[in-house]
Structure formats: structure tokens, C-alpha cells
Amino acid sequence: MEKMCFSFEEMWEKVMACDRKYDGLFYTAVKTTKIYCRPSCRSRKPKKSNVEFYSTMAEAEAKGFRACKRCQPETEYSPDEELARNVMDYLSANYRESISLQDIADHIGMSPSYLERVFKQETSETPRSCLERIRIDKAAHLLKQSNLSNLDVCFETGFQSPSNFYKIFRKLKAHSPHEFRKLNEPVSS
Ligand SMILES: [Zn+2]
């Protein structure tokens, strides 16, 4: 299987949220129906235990899954959608690194200003804010699922300074990392 940028839990969260921004980055395959979907599919949600994730359609099809008639994952993307997907893919795979708009532009092979304009038109956010969101989602996940300190989470998710990490975390999650972790502590039975 190709390298996945997301854990099962993260992908499941995107599926439950019908998050269109992740379309094309992975596919949801349902073992009981033998159908595969985009993360954003609006069909009834499968049971979590019946789901497998694939990073490409070819893998899902090789395992005997067929494309969903409703979300039509095999439909081609427009060139602008494709560009936005490629940027998302790059950011999701490299969020731990320090990434500039120029780095993304070099990777995609377009000018920074053109890239930023098309990305914003397709996703309503800039590559910078998208990268921040990916990092904060990863940080939230680590705060919930690991014992890493706040500082470790900060550097693990690609932030260069703790103050910037705390500021952006609070902006996107409305809590400090510490508060967020306390709020999401597993309920002890
Ligand atoms: Zn579907």
C-alpha cells in the first residue's frame, strides 16, 4: 500500500464530517457493500468496523471494490481542482517541515501568485491557512491520543515556535492545548 498521510482515526473523522477538502487524498471502502467512496460522500455512513481506507482507486479496485454511484470517485477533477488536490497532498505529506509558498509553487511547477489564487478559489482558504489547519488537526489528534508534552506536539506538527503554536491552536480550537487535552481526556469507566 502507498504511504498514507493519515491514521485510520483521522480519516474516519474526515468521513464523518463529509470533508470535501480530503477528496482525492484517500478513498473509503465498505467491506459489506464492496463499494468505495470519496471522503465527502453523502450516502448513509457505514459502520466503522466495516471500513477500510485506500490511498488510490487502483488499490480499492484491485481488492474488488466498485466506485460509488452517488459520489462518483472515478470522475475526473477539473485542472483547478486537481491543482488544489496536489497542494493539499503536498501539505499533508510535508506538514512537519518548514514550508514556504515558494516551496509549494516549486513542487507544483507554477508561480506562487497563480497557485495561491487558484487554491483560494477552490478551497476558500490560502495554502498558509490550510497548512495551519492540517498542523492543528494533527496537534489536536496527538493531544487526544498520545502522552507527548505540549512542546513536543508543537515541534512534532511543524511549528517553529511555541508562541505561534499556542496562538494558532487557540484561534482554530478556541482553547489552549492544555485546556483542549483536559476537555478530551478519555472518560474513565
Ligand atoms: Zn459514495
Give residue 181 CA to ligand 1 midpoint distance, Å.
33
Handedness of CA 96, 99, 105, 109 (dihedral sign): negative
Give residue 141 CA to ligand 1 midpoint distance, Å.
26
Give residue 71 CA to ligand 1 midpoint distance, Å.
4
Q: Which residues pair with 23 in a beta bridge?
A: 26
Separation of alpha carbons 34 and 178, rounded Å: 42
Give me the torsion for CA of 152, 157, 158, 160, rounded to 10°.
Answer: -40
Is the pLDDT reported for residue 66 higher than 90? yes
At residue 187, the pLDDT reads: 65
DSSP H helical ranges for 95-186: 101-108, 112-123, 127-145, 150-156, 162-173, 177-183
Is residue 64 very low, low, confident or very high in pLDDT (cuts 50, 70, 90)? very high
Handedness of CA 144, 148, 151, 155 (dihedral sign): negative
Q: Give pLDDT tens digits for 86-117.
A: 999 999 999 999 999 999 999 999 999 999 99
Residues 6+ apart with CB under 8 A from 110: 83
Is the pLDDT reported for residue 27 higher than 60? yes
In the 8-state DSSP scheme, what is residue 33?
T
At residue 1, the pLDDT reads: 43
Mean pLDDT rounded to a whole number for the chain? 92
27-30 vs 35-37, strand pairing mode: antiparallel
Of how many residues is the chain composed?
A: 189
Give residue 56 CA to ligand 1 midpoint distance, Å.
15
Residues 6+ apart with CB under 8 A from 55: 1, 2, 3, 4, 25, 26, 27
At residue 59, the pLDDT reads: 96
Give residue 125 CA to ligand 1 midpoint distance, Å.
25
